[in-house]
Structure 1
Amino acid sequence: MKAKSLVTAVVILLGFLFTLQNSAVVEIRFLFGSVRMSLALVILLAGAAGLLGGFLLGTAARRRKSD
């Protein structure tokens, strides 16, 4: 369990450092709209969405397995 925590901490740290190094303002276009924001914020939001999606899918799979 300790190795898993260490790997998780290293991955989070590397992701944070990558985000800090990419702070330029970019334009994001999706469907019919566009928005200008920091690339670091885009990276953080995408990562958070991925974490949330993974958590929700994992929770749903565990519930389905226990039923």
Structure 2
Amino acid sequence: MNLSLGVRVLIVFACASFSVNIGMAAAWLSHTPGSPAGEAVLYGGGSFGGTLALCLAVLKALKVL
């Protein structure tokens, strides 16, 4: 696909927004009362990174980016 730069930026922004939501949900689900919040933040950050990498890899394979 031959998309303009603005459309590509919007697609990457949408992927990042989706990944942030997945990371926040993963951190929220992994946090237990009485445990340090740092563990949940690291878990959410890992989920964010994995989700963003997967989204961008799929878009690259589909030749969108």
Report the TM-score when normalising by structure 2.
0.47
Bigger helix fraction: 2
Higher RCO, 1 vs 2 (CA within 8 Å, ≥6 residues apart): 2
Q: Which has the higher strand share?
A: 1
Q: Normalising by structure 1, what TM-score?
A: 0.46
